[in-house]
Amino acid sequence: MAPKDGRIVSNLKAVRKSRGLSQSELAERVGVKRQAVYDMETGRYMPNTHLALRLARELSCGVEDLFALDETGEHRSVTLVEGTCRGSLRVSLAKVRDRIIAYPIEGRWMMSHGFLAADGLLEQGGDRAQLLSEPDHLDRKILLLGCDPAFSILKAHIARWACDAAVDCRFASSQLALERLADGYAHIAGTHLHSDGPAQGNLGFARRCLRGAGAMVVTFSSFEEGLMVAPGNPLRIRSVTDLANGRIRFVNREPGAALRMLLDDRLAQAGVDVRSIRGYDRRLPNHSRCAQMVAASMADAALGLRAVASAYELDFVPLEVVCCDLVIPSDLLELKAVKILLDVLQAGVLRKELAALPGYDPSNTGKVVGVV
Phi, psi of 171 (to 5 degrees): -70, 135
pTM above 0.95, yes or no: no
Collect the ranges in the chain with pLDDT lower than 50.
1-6, 111, 198
Res 87: pLDDT = 53
Res 1: pLDDT = 39
- Radius of gyration for the alpha carbons in the chain, expressed in angstroms and rounded: 25
Res 116: pLDDT = 83
Res 5: pLDDT = 45
Res 348: pLDDT = 95
- What are the structural domains of the chain? 8-69 (1.10.260.40), 189-372 (3.40.190.10)
The average confidence (pLDDT) of the chain is 90
Res 147: pLDDT = 92
Minimal CA–CA distance to 224: which of 310, 164, 297? 310
Res 35: pLDDT = 94
Q: 245-276 as b/e, with b when 16 or more CB fall inside 10 Å? A: eeebbbbbbeeebbbbbbbbebbeeeebeeee
Helices and strands counted in the chain (H then E): 14, 18
Are 102 and 185 contacting, i.e. CB atoms less than 8 angstroms apart? no
Measured CA to CA, the distance from residue 328 to residue 164 in angstroms comes to 20
Res 107: pLDDT = 63
Res 363: pLDDT = 96
Are 164 and 140 contacting, i.e. CB atoms less than 8 angstroms apart? yes
Are 203 and 191 contacting, i.e. CB atoms less than 8 angstroms apart? no
Are 138 and 100 contacting, i.e. CB atoms less than 8 angstroms apart? yes
Res 7: pLDDT = 66
User: pLDDT tens digit string along 296-306?
Assistant: 999 999 999 99
